[in-house]
């Protein structure tokens, strides 16, 4: 909870003071686990990512009139070194890929492109949104 929820709160709090001068965009990283529960994830992880989800929506409403946009990104399984180590060591890689309708884990770049969109002027009318980058997992 300290990292996932409190960290997002403190980061947003620090950014708001400066952003009040010029506006801007805050993008919080949550998880698809903040949208749906899973029987293979610890409930506290779901709760911490769900906290990021609703905090983002509340902050978006609170700061919209000051020209500050706040959105969240909700990745599914990502092919990172840390995740790969865990998935390969426990034999869960194949199971993870089977859960994803697109049949694979995401590349970090695919999540980064979503963040880039939310940070850009092309998303100037987007705030309080949830960008889900999960290969279709939450559509099930």
The single residue of 40, 45, 63, 113 carrying the catalytic annotation is 45
Euclidean distance between CA atoms 108 and 110, whole angstroms: 5
Strand 130-133 with 68-75, pairing = parallel
Please say if 45 is a catalytic residue.
yes
Q: Which residues contact 33 (CB under 8 A, 6 or more apart)?
A: 41, 45, 46, 49, 50
CA distance 100 to 9: 30
Residues classed as catalytic: 45
């Amino acid at each position: 909870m300290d990292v996932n929820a409190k960290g997002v709160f403190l980061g947003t709090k620090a950014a708001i003071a400066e952003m009040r001068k010029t506006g801007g965009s805050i993008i919080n990283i949550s998880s698809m686990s903040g949208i749906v529960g899973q029987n293979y994830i610890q409930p506290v992880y779901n709760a911490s990512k769900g906290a990021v989800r609703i905090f983002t929506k509340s902050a978006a409403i609170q700061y919209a009139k000051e020209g500050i946009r706040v959105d969240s990104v909700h990745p599914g399984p990502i092919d990172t070194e840390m995740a790969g180590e865990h998935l390969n060591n426990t034999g869960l890689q194949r199971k993870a890929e089977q859960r994803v309708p697109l049949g694979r884990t995401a590349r970090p770049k695919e999540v980064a492109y979503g963040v880039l969109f939310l940070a850009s002027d092309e998303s100037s009318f987007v705030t309080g949104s949830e960008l889900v980058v999960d290969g279709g997992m939450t559509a099930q």
